[in-house]
Structure 1
Amino acid sequence: MDALVTAARNGDKEAFVQLIRMNKQSLYKAAWVYLRNEQDIADALQNTILSCYENIQGLREVKYFKTWLMRILINECKDILRQKNHDTELDNFAEGVHCEELDLCEWKQLLLCLDEESRKIVELYYFDEFSVKEISALLEMNSNTVSTKLSRARAKLKEVIRR
């Protein structure tokens, strides 16, 4: 992927298109976590891709392309939420939520016991498979804070399940 990023930085449009294609599912899932509305997601993705294309020369480290791209997306999502003053309660989950003991509706209700920030961390970690370090960069938090919030969220979820 580093070679594609370098080529895109040097003006290779096809390399840029390939980078976006490689990251489209992650972009969509992250936008869904924030927006929960197809039209808003489409707007956020379009704005993100445009901003990325226009500013890719400003990317300092090629290896952080995905984190940089996701940060742009999250900022776009936050802008849309500010403009529309949306409530970011969880209505649905991204694809791929599986548990032998809980169905989707039960997962939805279970995660509602967490505060918004913890829900986002849990979704990014378990459903979108981001590492603590990546979540830390995306949410602009210290890695230790993300780890602590993830640990506390797990404990709270276990407590709720046992009831």
Structure 2
Amino acid sequence: MKSLVKRAQRGDDQAFVELIEENKQAMYKVAVGILKNDFDAADAIQQSILTCYEKLKELKKAQYFKTWLLRILINNCNQMLREQKKVVGIEDYYGAEDTKGKKAEEKIAAPPGAATINEDFLELLDQMEQQYRVVLILYYVEEMSIREISQILQMNENTVKTRLSRGRGVYKKLYLKEHPEFQFE
């Protein structure tokens, strides 16, 4: 990946496209995990790719490209969430269902080749606070190390460990609430 980054920094557009192709699944999973909506995730990804393209020459260490790209994406997702809190959409009153009763998000498929994530897992993640949801997605879905997560989220490794532990606890409670047959007395 280092050589692709170096080529892209020198202006090779094809190298940049290859970099994005290598990271599109990770970007999709993180964006959907934060925003819970394919439309917004697509917007955040598009904005992140544009920002990455414009600022690529500022990246000092090529080996941190993925970390840097995901940090840009997370910042864009957080910005979108802040903006959404200011605006109340019509869906809040009427729901985002079309005339056939299907939600708009259900009609959009993941990008080709994207790994499917267990629906139960996603539903439970949606019920969690963002601070835990993001860490769990990066750790379990993207299989990132504690160190990588701390770099992306710009926080201490111990904070990541704490959020991961608390997130697991919240997830366990939610899971057992929905699946009481797995509870032991």
Report the residue type matching 2:83 in the other structure. Q
Larger radius of gyration: 2
- TM-score, normalization: structure 1? 0.80
CA drift of 1:16 comes to 0.4
Aligned to 1:146: 160
5+ residue gaps in structure 1?
Answer: 99-103
- TM-score, normalization: structure 2? 0.71
Counterparts in 2 of 1:1-163, with a 5 A limit?
1-85=1-85, 96-98=116-118, 104-105=119-120, 107=121, 110-111=124-125, 114-158=128-172, 161=176, 162=183
Distance 1:18 1:117, change over 3 A: same
Identity %: 45
CA drift of 1:120 comes to 2.0
CA drift of 1:116 comes to 3.0
Tell me, in whole angstroms, the C-alpha distance in 2 between the residues paired with 1:115 and 1:46: 25
Give the conservation status (yes or no) of the 8 Å contact 1:96–1:127.
no
Report the residue type matching 1:47 in the other structure. Q
